[in-house]
Structure 1
Amino acid sequence: MNRLLFIAFILSNVLTAQVKISGKVVTADHTPVAFAEVLLFANGPLPVKNQITNEKGEFVLEYKAGSYKLKISQFGTILYTKDIELSSDLDLGEILTNNVQELQAVVITQKKEIVERKVDRLVFNIENTISTAGGDALDALKITPGVQIQNESITIAGKSTVRVLLDDKMIELGQEELTNLLKSIPAENIKSIEVITTPPAKYEALGNSGLVNIRLKKAKKDSWNLSLGTGYLQRHHDPEGSTTSNFIYNKNKLSMSASLNYRDGGIYLEQESKIHFADGLWVLNYPLQKKHKMLNGIVSMQYIATPKWVLGFQYLTNLNKTDTDATRSLLIYDNDTNEVTQNITSVGYAFLRPTLHSVNVFNEYKLNPAGGKMLVNVDYFKYKSNDSRPYEGTSEEYNPPKKEFFKGINNNNQNISNFSGKVDFELPVEWANIGFGGKVSFSDTKNLISTFNSDFTDQPVTDLPLEDFDFGYKENVQAVYISGNKKFANNLESQVGLRFENTQAKSYEADVQQSVNNNYNRLFPSFNISYTPQPHSVYRLSYSKRIDRPTFAQLNPNIAYINPFQSIQGNPLLQPAFIDNFEFIYSYKKLESKLYYSHDKNVFMQISTPDPDTNIVRIVTRNIFNMERYGISEIYVFNEFKWWTSNNTADFNYTKSRSLIESTKGIEGYNLKLATNNDFILNDKKTLLLNLNYWYVFPKTEGFVKLDASSSTAVTLQYLLNDNLRISLKANDIFRTEKINFNPTVNGVYQEYRLYNDSRYIQLYLNYRLGSKKAKIINRNTGNEEERKRVGG
C-alpha cells in the first residue's frame, strides 16, 4: 500500500512538473531575430503559453509535460512550426527562420495600415495621418472612415448617433458637454479611433448605432516622450490660440501619461429661420458670438505589482468657461402686402461654467497561464454647471404704432454624479475564449432652476422676481453578460454574446412633489461571424440590439427663452429608443463593402413645434418616429505609390420613417455621402507632406426633415525638421460650403433653417518632441496587447 502511494506521488509530480523549452531564433545567416512571438499550442486554437524573444533572439518557456505544437511568428507572419513532445527540459538550439522583417533604427519597415478591420470593429490609426495636425479629437473624428459630424453631432455613416468612449470608458455627457470635452483633447494625443458598429456583449448596450472608442497614446517599454505644441487659428470673426502638452513614460514596472491642454478663442455661429404662418412670414436672425476658454487635463498610471497583478488609475478634468452674446432680430411680414408689420429685437447672453472631474481605478489579475484574467474597474465622475441666461428686448408694431418691452432670465445650477463598478472575466479554454461579467451604475442629477419671463409690458422691466424649482433625475442600471469567441479549423470565426440590463429611472419635481418612474429590463443579443476563404478575402455577418437613453440635458424641463414667442426646453417624459442593426461585410485586400439594415424604434430628437393659432414656437425634445434604413457603404484604401495614400468612403442608403405624433409626418428618401482623405509625400526626404480632405453630402432625408447638400474642403501642409519639430499649416472649409439647411413641416407650418458653424479657418501649428530614442526602436506586439490597452497599458 505504501509502495502504491509512493508511486502515485511520484507520478503526480511528474505529470504536474514544469518543463523548460528554450531556443534562439535566427535568420539564415544566423542573425538573431528580436521581438518574435513564440507560441505553444495544445489542442485548442488559443496558445497555452507565449513569450517574446529578447534582443539576442532567445526565449525560455515553462509549461507542464505533454504533446504540443510550437509556432514562431513576427508581425502576423508564421516563421516556424514544429510538433514537440515534452517530458523533460528541451533546448532547441538555433532555430533557422525565413521571411523575417527587419527593424530599422527608427521605424519598422512594415508600415501599419491606416485602416484596419477586426472581427467587430474598424480601427483608424490616426497617428499615421497628418490631416489633424493642430486639431482636436472632434477634428480627428471628422476624417475617421464611417463617422460623420453634422452640427457637432457624431453619427456612423448611414445610421444614427453613437456613444463615445475614451480608452474603453464611456463618456456620460450630453451632446454640448461631449463636444466641449472632445475639443479640449488634442488629436496629437490620440493613437487610434475604433468604430464599433456591433459591440461585443461586454460593452454597455447604450449607443443606438454602436460605439466610437478613442484610444490615447501610450509609452512603449523602457521609454519616455514629451510632446509640446502651440497653435494659432483664425476664423472669419475670431482667433483662437492653443497650447498642448503630453508626457508618457514606461520603465520597468511603472507606466504613466499626463497631458495638459488649453484653448482660448471664439466662434461666430450664423443662424436664420423662416416660419411660414398662415397670417405672415416670421424671419428670425439670431447669430451667436461665443467666447470660450477650455482647460483639459488627463493623468493615468499603471503599475505591475506582481507578475499576475496590474493596477492603476486615470483622472480626467475638464474646465470650461463660455460666454455667448446673441443679438436677435425677428421680422414679421404680412402675407398679402409683403410688408414688415412687427419688429422684435432682443439681446441675450449665456454664461456657462461647466466642470468635469472623472476618476477610474482598475485592477487586472491573471488567473492562469493560458491567458485567463479578471478585470475590475471602479469609476466616479462629477459634473457641475452654473449657467445663467439673461435676455431683454423690445417689440415694435407699425400699424397702428405700438412699442412693448420684455425681459427675463434663466439660471440653472446643475450637479450630475455617477458611480459605477464593473467586473470582467476572460477565460480561454481549449474550445473557445469565454468572457462574462457584470456592471452596476448609479446616476444622480440635481437641478436648481431659477427663472423669470416678463412677457410683453408697456414699460421697461426693472425687477426680476425669480421663481425657483428643483428638478431631479435618478437612474440605476444593473447588467450581466456572457460572450464567446471561437476560431474553427475551416477559417471560420464566431463571436456571440448576450447582455441583460435592468434599469430603474425616476424624475421628480420637489416643489410639487410629483415624480415619474420608468423601470424596464431588456436582453441585448449580438453576434459576429467571419469567414476567410483566402488570405485577403473575408466575409462577415453581424447583428446587435442596442438602446439609446436620453441624456440628462434632454430630460431637464428647464425653459430657455429666445423671445416671448420662442423657447427651448427638455422633456422629463422621454422614453429610450431601441435599435436592431444587421450588417454583411465583404473585405478584399484594400476594399471593404458593407450591406446594412437598421430598425430604430421610438427615436427621440429636438422638434420645433409652431402653434398656428398663437404663433408660439416651442423647441422640445420628443419621441417622434420609428425608422428603417437600408444601405450600402464602401471603404477603399489606395496606396500603390509610396508618395500617395488615399482613404475613400461612400455611403448610400434609403430611409423610411413613420411618425409617432400627430403634428408631423414621416418621410422617406435616398441619401448619399462621398469622402476622400489623401496624404502626399512631396520630397525624397519625406519631410514635406500634404493632406487633401474632401467630403460631399447630397440632399437627404432624416426622420421628418429634408436637408440640403453640403460639403467641405480642407488642405494641410506639414514640414518635419530633424524628426523633432513639426510645422503645420491648415486651411479648413475653404469654399465655405459646410452649411446645414433643413426644411421641416410641423402642425401644417412649413419652416426653413439655415446654419453655419464658422467652419472656415486657417491654422498654424507647431509641435516639438523630445524623449528617449529607444521609444522609436522597440515596437512589441504581444498576444495580449488588446487586453493591455483596455487597462491603459
Structure 2
Amino acid sequence: MKKILLLCLGLIFAIGAQAQFPGMGGGQKASVTGRITATIIDSLTKQPVDYATVSLAKVKDGKAVNGGVTDEKGKIVLQNVAADEYKLSIGFIGYKSKTVIVKTTLAKPDNNLGTVILSPTSNVLNEVTVEGKKAIIENKIDRMVYNAEADATNAGGDATDVMRKVPMLSVDVNGNVQLRGGAVRVLINGKPSGTMANSVADALKMLPAEQIKSVEVITSPSAKYDAEGSGGIINIITKKSNAQGVSGSVNTSVGTRQNNGSFNLTAKTNRLSVNAALGGSYAYPQNSRVSFLNETAGTTTFQDGFSKWARPGYNGSFGVDYDINAYNNISSTIKYNHFSNGGPGEANININGLALQNISDMDMGFNNMDWNVDYKRTSKKVGEEFSVSGQLSQGRNTTDFSNILRTAGVPDIITANDNVGKNNEYTLQTDYILPINKKTTLETGLKGIARNIASDYTQAAQDFDYNQNVASAYGVIGFDLTKKIKFKGGLRAEYTDISGVFANSLPIKNDYFNLFPSAIVSQTLKDNKTTLKLSYNRRVQRPSLFYLNPFRNESNQFSVSEGNPNLDPEISDNYEFGYSTFIKGSIINASVFYRRTGDVIESAIQPITENGVDKVLTTFINVGTAETFGLNVFGSYNPMPKWTLMTNIGLNTYQVSNEFTGVNTPTFLNYNWFLRSATTFNKGLSLEFFGVLNSPRRTFQGKTDAMVFYGAAIKKEIMKKKGSIGLNTLNPFNRDLHIKTVNTTANTFQSTNIYYPLRSFGVNFSYSFGKLKFTEKKKVKNDDIKQGEQQGGGQMGGMGSGK
C-alpha cells in the first residue's frame, strides 16, 4: 500500500504542476484580487433571504463581472474581484430590487458590506405574513435535506432520535439505520469518522441532537463519492460558525432519560478563523428487561433478567482555517470522541429444568481521533478548483465482561474476558474541478486509503490483524443537454488489497478490482416547479471491524457472538426514477427504485456445543443475492400560514436468493411512516408533534417486531430571539418499548424480548451570540466500508437502559 500512496502522491503533484492557476496554460501570475461579502436579510422579519440573486457590474461601463445566489444564511461571497468600483444589484421575487455601490482597492482588496436589507413589495405585504422560518425539508436534485435545527422536537435526544425523523430512513430499536431498505454510509460534515468504522448505532449515540444542523440523504451519489453504501449516503452537518469577530452558541438539555450539553466558539480576524467545540452527554442507568429463549436439538434454555447500563460520553474539536490569498486556502481540524456503554446485570436461567443465576458486568468503551489537513486552490475561472486532503484516523474500542454463574450446591463458575480493537486509517486524496464552459464541468480525482484493523485478546494466541488498502480514481462530467435537461455521469475505479492473520495460523489474503459507474438525468418542466430525475449507480459495502472481528463475546454465556474475518463485500446496482413539484407552497417528492445486491451480509445463528453445554452462536455471513423494489413519497402542506403538516411513506420489498441454505426467502413488504405537525404562534412560541412507525424487519432467518415512537415539544424564543427555552417528551404514555425478535433454523429456535425504557421528559435551553455565518470546506471522505449494526452481539448495545 505504501507504493500505492506514493504513486497517488506523485500523481497529485503532477496534476498540481499542470494545473497552474489561473488559466491552465503557462503559470502566468495573477494580479491581486479580493472578494466582496454581504448578508441579505428581510426588513420585517430580520431573517436571511436565501437564493436571492446577486450580480456585480463595473460602474464605468456597466459590464457584469461576477454574480451568484445567497446561501441558506442569506450570505453571498464573490471571489476573485479585481480592484475597481462596482454596482452590486440584489433581487428576489416578492422583494424590491436594491443596488449598492462597492469599491475595492489594491491596498484593500476585500470589502465586507455586512448586512444588506431587502424590503418586501407592497402587494406581498397585503397578502401574506412573512415568518422567515427555515423549511424543515429541502429537496435538491441528488439529495433531500432535513434541517434538524428547525425541529424543536429534537432537543434532548441524540443523533439516533434525529435519524428516525429523516425522510427515507428507517431506524430499528438498536439504532441501525437503513436507507430505503439498504445499507447506508454515514458521513459527518462530508467526511468519515473513525467512530463510525466499528458501529454506526453506537457512534450516533455519541452525538447530541443539539449539535446537528441538518442531515442530507443522498440517494444517487456520483462517481466522485467513495462507492460505499448500497442504499446511498447520509451526511450529518453539525453546527459551526465562521464569522468576523467572535460568535458561538450554548445548548443544554436536562431530562429523565438523557442529558446533553454543547458549546461552540468561533473567532475570526481578517483571513484567519479558529473554531472550537465541546460537547457531553450522560444517559441515566435504568433497568432494561431482557428475556431469551433458545431451543436446540436437546436443550431448552430460558433466561429472564435485566441490565442497568449508563452511557456517558464527551467530544471536542479544534479547527484552524486560513486564506493565504484570494486563491489559496489551508485548513486543519482535529476531533476526539469518547463514549462508554455498560453496567451490571442479573438473570435467572433455566436449562432443561435446572435453575441457575448469572451476575454480569459489562463495559464497552469507544475512543476515536480524526485529524484532517486540507489545501484548496481556486482561480479567476469561476468554479475551477484544485485540492489536496489528508486524514489520520485512530480508533480504540474496548470490551470487558465478567460473569458469575451460580447453581445450588455447586461452586460459582467465574468467566471473564477483554478485548481491544484498533482501527487506524491513513488517507490521501486529490480532486480537480474544471468548468470547460458555462454548460460543462469536468471533475477528476485520486485517492489512497491504508487501513490496519487489529484485535488484541487476553490470550495473545487469538490475536487478529487485518490490513485493507484501497486505491481509487474517478472522472465525472456534467453538462446541459438542453435548457431544461441536465446530465451528470462518471466512472470510479477501485482496487482493494486485503491481507491478515488470525490466531497466528489462519492467513487471510484477498484482492479485487471494481468499476462503479453512475449517471443521472434531470429535467425541469415548463412550469419550473416540477423536476423529473432518472439515475443509476453501482455501490459496494466492505465489512468493517464490527463484522470482521472474531472476538468471542460471551457476556451471555448461552448466546454468544463473534465476527467473521472471511466476509466478501456486497455489490449493488441501483436504479431510481424521481418526481418532485411545488404546488401553492406545498411540496411533493416521490420516487420508485430497484436495487440488486450480491453477497448480502446478515447476522446468522447456529447451534454449537462447548464443554458439553449447548449454545447458540451469532455471527455474520454472505447470505446471497437480494432484489428490492421500492417506493417513497414525501409531502409537506400548509393548511394555514403558521401550520405545517409533513409526512413521509416508504415501501420496499425484502427477498433473498439464499446461498447459505439453498432456499429462497418469501417476498416481504417493509414500510415506514413519519408524520409531523408544527405550529407557530405570536411572540416566538411554537408547538410540534411527531410520530414514527417502522414495520417488522426481516432477515433470512427471522423477524423483528414493528416499532412506534411519538413525541412533542413546545419552544419559546427569549432574549431578543438569541435564545430559546423548551419542553419535550418522547413516548410519554409508555415507559418501555417492547421489541420481540425471532430467529429460526432447521435445528434452532431463538426468541428475544427486550423492554427498552424509552419514555422521557426534558427541558432544554439554547443561546447564540455574535453574528453567525456558515461556510463549507472540502474534506476527506472515506465512504467505503460497511459499518456495524450494534455493539455487543445483541446485548443492550442499542438503546440500552439509558435510552
Same fold by TM-score, threshold 0.5 exceeded?
yes
Worse-matched range after superposition: 188-197 or 306-315: 188-197
Aligned match of 1:88: none
3-state SS in 2 of match to 1:353: strand
Task: Sort the Cα spacing of 1:60 and 1:247 in 2 relative to 1 into closer, same or farther, 3 A.
Answer: closer
CA contact (8 A) 2:603 2:620 kept: yes
- Alpha-carbon distance, 1:38 to partner: 1.5
Name the counterpart of 1:363.
375
Contact 2:192 2:780 in 1 (8 A): no
1:486 equivalent in structure 2: 479
Residue in 1 aligned with 2:682? 684
Query: What is aligned with 1:119?
Result: 141
1:438-463 Cα deviation digits (max 9, x unpaired): 11000112222015xxxxxxxxxxxx
SS of equivalent to 1:549: strand
CA distance in 1, matches of 2:276, 2:331: 14
Aligned counterpart for 1:241 among listed residues 259, 265, 273: 259
Query: SS of the counterpart of 1:747?
Result: coil
2:284 corresponds to: 266
The 1:660–1:241 alpha-carbon spacing in structure 2 relative to 1, beyond 3 Å, is: same
- CA deviation profile, 1:737-777 (whole Å, cap 9, x unmatched): 744322221234333222233222122222233x23x44xx
Structure 2 match to 1:756 = 755
- The amino acid that maps onto 1:449 is Y
**Residues 298, 220 of structure 1: CA spacing in aligned structure 2 closer, same or farther, 3 A cutoff?**
closer
Distance, in Å, in 2 between the alignment partners of 1:343 and 1:527 is 61
CA, structure 1 residues 225+108, in 2 after alignment: closer, same or farther (shift >3 Å)? farther
Distance 1:520 1:102 in 2: 62
What is residue 289 of structure 1 aligned with on the other side? 308
How far apart are 1:145 and its partner, in Å? 1.5
C-alpha contact (below 8 Å) 1:49/1:369 kept by paired residues: no
TM superposition shift of 1:791: 9.0
Pair 1:158-2:166 in alignment: no
Would the aligned equivalents of 2:404 and 2:414 in 1 still touch at CA under 8 Å?
Answer: yes
Map residues 429-468 of structure 1 onto 2, 5 A cutoff. 429-430=436-437, 431-450=439-458, 468=461
Cα shift at 1:352: 2.8
SS in structure 2 opposite 1:743? strand
Alignment partner of 1:531 is 2:523: yes
Match of 1:423 among 422, 430, 433: 430
C-alpha change, 1:701 and 1:242, in structure 2 (3 Å) is closer
How many residue pairs match? The answer is 692
- Higher deviation after alignment, 352-361 or 185-194: 185-194
- Matched position secondary structure for 2:757: coil
Deviation at 1:160, TM superposition (A): 2.0
C-alpha deviation, 1:162, in angstroms: 1.0
Please, what TM-score do these two structures have when normalized by structure 1?
A: 0.80
**Corresponding position of 2:11:** none
Q: In the superposition, relative to structure 1, how do residues 161 and 301 fare at CA in structure 2: closer, same or farther (>3 Å)?
A: same
Structure 2 CA distance for partners of 1:639 and 1:789, relative to 1, 3 Å:
farther
Q: Does the 8 A contact of 1:670 with 1:701 survive in 2? A: no
Q: Which AA in structure 1 matches 2:544?
A: T
Change beyond 3 A, Cα 1:351–1:261: same
Gaps of 5+ in 1: 1-15, 27-32, 41-46, 65-69, 81-98, 334-340, 397-401, 452-466
TM-score of the aligned structures, taking structure 2 as reference length: 0.79
Alpha-carbon displacement from aligned partner over 1:267-306 (angstroms, at most 9, x marks no partner): 4443222234454643223532212321111222211111
Deviations 1:655-690 (A, max 9, x none): 211212129763321122211122222x3112x222
Q: In the superposition, relative to structure 1, how do residues 152 and 250 fare at CA in structure 2: closer, same or farther (>3 Å)?
A: farther
Distance 1:363 1:584 in 2: 37
CA distance in 1, matches of 2:178, 2:547: 21
Q: Secondary structure at the match of 1:757?
A: strand
How far apart, CA to CA, are the structure 2 residues paired with 1:631 and 1:379? 37
Give the whole-Å Cα distance in 2 for the aligned partners of 1:225 and 1:328: 51
Match of 2:44 in 1: none
- Asked whether the 8 Å contact 1:302–1:311 carries over to 2, the reply is yes
Distance 1:614 1:272 in 2: 19
Q: Is the 8 A contact 2:179 2:231 kept in 1?
A: no
Partner of 2:800: none
Determine the structure 1 residue equivalent to 2:319.
300
Partner of 1:615, secondary structure, is strand
Q: Distance in 1 between matches of 2:662 and 2:303?
A: 22
Among residues 454, 467, 470, which one is paired with 1:474 in the alignment?
A: 467
Mapped to 1, the partners of 2:543 and 2:315 lie a distance apart of: 26
Equivalence for 1:505: 498
Selected match of 1:733 from 731, 734, 746: 731
Preserved CA contact (<8 Å) 1:385 1:413: yes
1:410 aligns with 2:438: no
1:359-397 CA distance string (max 9 Å, x none): 00111101442320012110001112343212220346x
Aligned letter for 1:646? L
2:337 corresponds to 1:318: yes
Candidates 382, 388, 406, aligned match of 1:376: 388
Aligned CA distance change for structure 1 residues 306 and 365 (closer, same or farther; 3 Å): same
Deviation of residue 195 (structure 1)?
0.4
Matches for 1:26-45 after TM superposition, within 5 Å? 36-38=53-55
Q: CA deviation at 1:544?
A: 1.2
Q: Which residue of 2 aligns with 1:394?
A: 406
Tell me the SS of whatever aligns to 1:554: helix
Secondary structure of the residue aligned to 1:317 is strand
**Within-5 A mapping of 1:47-58:** 49-50=66-67
- Alignment-mate amino acid for residue 580 of structure 1: D
Could you tell me which amino acid in structure 2 is paired with residue 183 of structure 1? K
Confirm or deny that 1:222 pairs with 2:244.
yes
Which range is displaced more, 706-715 or 751-760? 751-760
SS in 1 for 2:670: strand
- Which amino acid is 1:555 matched to? L
Residue pair 1:630, 1:654 contacting (<8 A) in 2 also: yes
The amino acid that maps onto 1:385 is N
Measure how far apart 1:432 and its partner are. 0.7
- Counterparts of 2:79 and 2:373, CA distance in 1: 33
Once residues 58 and 500 of structure 1 are traced to their aligned partners in structure 2, the CA distance between those partners, rounded to angstroms, is 35
Give me the whole-angstrom Cα distance separating, in 2, the residues matched to 1:642 and 1:524: 46
Q: Which residue of 1 aligns with 2:100?
A: none
Q: What residue in structure 1 maps to residue 638 of structure 2?
A: 639
Deviations 1:637-664 (A, max 9, x none): 1234232222210012222112121297
Which one scores higher on RCO, CA 8 angstroms, separation ≥ 6?
2
Q: Which amino acid aligns with 2:727?
A: L
Cα separation, 1, equivalents of 2:671 and 2:93: 37
Most deviating of 209-218 and 178-187: 178-187
Superposed CA offset, 1:541-598 (max 9, x none): 1111111111112211111114553311111111111111111111121001111111
1-structure distance, mates of 2:475, 2:423 = 31
Moved more, 303-312 or 345-354: 345-354
Report the 3-state secondary structure (helix = DSSP H, G, I; strand = E; otherwise coil) of the residue aligned with 2:614. coil
AA matched with 1:671: N
- Alpha-carbon distance in 2 for matches of 1:176, 1:511: 23
Please give the secondary structure, in 2, of the residue aligned with 1:616.
Answer: strand
Cα distance in structure 1, aligned partners of 2:33 and 2:335: 46
1:519 to 489, 511, 536: 511
Q: Which has the larger Rg?
A: 1
Distance 2:628 2:549 in 1: 30
Q: Cα deviation per residue 1:24-57 (whole Å; 9 max; x = unaligned)?
A: 9x9xxxxxx99752279xxxxxx9843689x9x9
Residues 1:153 and 1:188: Cα distance change in structure 2 (over 3 Å): closer
- Which secondary structure does the structure 2 equivalent of 1:140 belong to? helix
Q: Structure 2, unaligned stretches of length 5 or more?
A: 1-29, 41-48, 58-63, 98-117, 782-803
* TM-fit CA distance, 1:726: 1.8
Alignment CA distance shift 1:351-1:196 (3 Å) = same
Question: 8 Å contact 1:347–1:391 — kept in the other structure?
Answer: yes
Pair 526,75 (structure 1): closer, same or farther in 2 beyond 3 Å:
farther
1:110: Cα distance to partner? 5.2
Instruction: Rate the CA distance shift 1:60–1:206 in 2: closer, same or farther, 3 A.
Output: closer
CA separation of 1:266 and 1:607: change in aligned 2, threshold 3 A = farther
AA aligned opposite 2:361: Y
Aligned partner of 1:38: which letter?
Answer: S
Secondary structure of the residue aligned to 1:649 is strand
Helix, strand or coil at the partner of 1:685: helix
Which residue of 589, 594, 597 maps to 2:591? 594
Structure 2 CA distance for partners of 1:111 and 1:643, relative to 1, 3 Å: closer
The residue type equivalent to 1:414 in the other structure is: G
State whether structure 2 residue 352 is matched by structure 1 residue 352.
no
